[in-house]
Structure 1
Amino acid sequence: MKAIGRYLLIPGLLVACGGVAWFLAALLAVSHKIALLLTIILAYFLVSACLGVFRYRLRKRVEKMTAAERAALAEFSPEIAYSVPAPGSASPRVTTLVGVIAVNGPVVPLMIGPLALLQYVFKVHDPLASASSLALGFLLAWTWWSVGVTVWRWWAATHRGMPVGEVQWRGEQASLLWPKNHFFEKTELGKFLSRRHAP
């Protein structure tokens, strides 16, 4: 039964967002698409806040454990291994937040910017031109991400003192990085350059 509930959670949230969006569209007198976008963004922040609270509680419980208990549990879960920062190290939350803002922040504007510029500034609504500008936006956004995560990895490990494994784990948790050995991870500029220089 739990497995079924896990698979129904996301569709259930989307259906709930759709219902709330219909209500908001009528209440705010805006289009349903705008209301749906606002609802999904709000739901994202609420789910993120809940996860933040759960992680905070976990961190507090792990801090109360002995070093031996933490070490034993750390083998099974990176959440526990990295929940308590090393004494004197920089805040992992700030390090991750900088990556999210600096790397992921410009991705959506870069992705839709060329299309918005084409349609709203130059008033061009040709399907081929729109598809081309959307492809250009995707290329710009992916290039920004590729360079940005390479710089963020270097900065987090070198200047913030975060271990490489923790950088990878925190980057994945914040949707900054693809999982290790994933096909898209190979599109990071740093990974691409290291493959080219490898003998």
Structure 2
Amino acid sequence: MKMTPAQAVSRGVLTVNGTVMLTMLGLPALTGGGALLLGLDQATAGSTAALTFLLSWPLAWLSWSLLVPRWRVWAYERVENLDALKVRGVEAGLIWREGHFFERTEIRTSQQRQRLRELEQAWSARTINHVSSSRNGA
């Protein structure tokens, strides 16, 4: 099923960034609420939630690092224009621009790396052929 870059990015923001936000904010909220339910005072519950918030950042980053490559494969297979997809993804805060240091924190399996390489090469070939045919026809 083909879709627009905007549609694919919207789904990525919901699934990837949604998971990241739930990890960063949901875990501390659950921890603080759980501490209150266990009868701890508000200061202790707040401290527990704050500590959990600090600890949730690495877990949230790990979630992003594992989910983004899955989203990339999924989106690359469904979107016609990979350049537009990447621009939209960066604008939405879903992915980092190509070559950015943090892009290297994506954790890709060998199968994901291979599939992304194939899809990128196919896109490059289509783009080059399109440019060549446009110049020859002009």
TM range (shorter): 0.5 to 0.7
CA contact (8 A) 1:107 1:141 kept: yes
1:105 is aligned to 2:18: yes
1:147 is displaced (CA, Å) by: 1.5
1:142-153 to structure 2, matched below 5 A, reads 142-153=61-72
Report the count of equivalent residues: 106
1:175 is aligned to 2:93: yes
Unaligned runs of at least 5 residues, structure 2: 114-138
1:135 is displaced (CA, Å) by: 2.4
What SS does structure 1 have at the residue aligned with 2:98? Answer: coil
Residue type at the aligned position of 1:149: V
Q: Higher relative contact order at CA 8 Å, sep ≥6: structure 1 or structure 2?
A: 2
What SS does structure 2 have at the residue aligned with 1:150? Answer: helix
Q: State the distance in 2 between where 1:140 and 1:162 align.
A: 33
Unaligned runs of at least 5 residues, structure 1: 1-87, 195-199
1:106 is displaced (CA, Å) by: 2.3
Query: Over the residues paired in the alignment, what is the CA RMSD in angstroms?
Result: 2.9
TM norm structure 1: 0.45
Q: After TM superposition, where is structure 1 displaced by more than 6 Å over at least 4 residues in a row?
A: none
TM norm structure 2: 0.62
Are the structure 2 counterparts of residues 93 and 132 from structure 1 closer, same or farther at C-alpha, using a change threshold of 3 Å?
Answer: same
Are the structure 2 counterparts of residues 92 and 167 from structure 1 closer, same or farther at C-alpha, using a change threshold of 3 Å?
Answer: closer
**Identity percentage over the alignment?**
33
1:22-101 to structure 2, matched below 5 A, reads 89-101=2-14
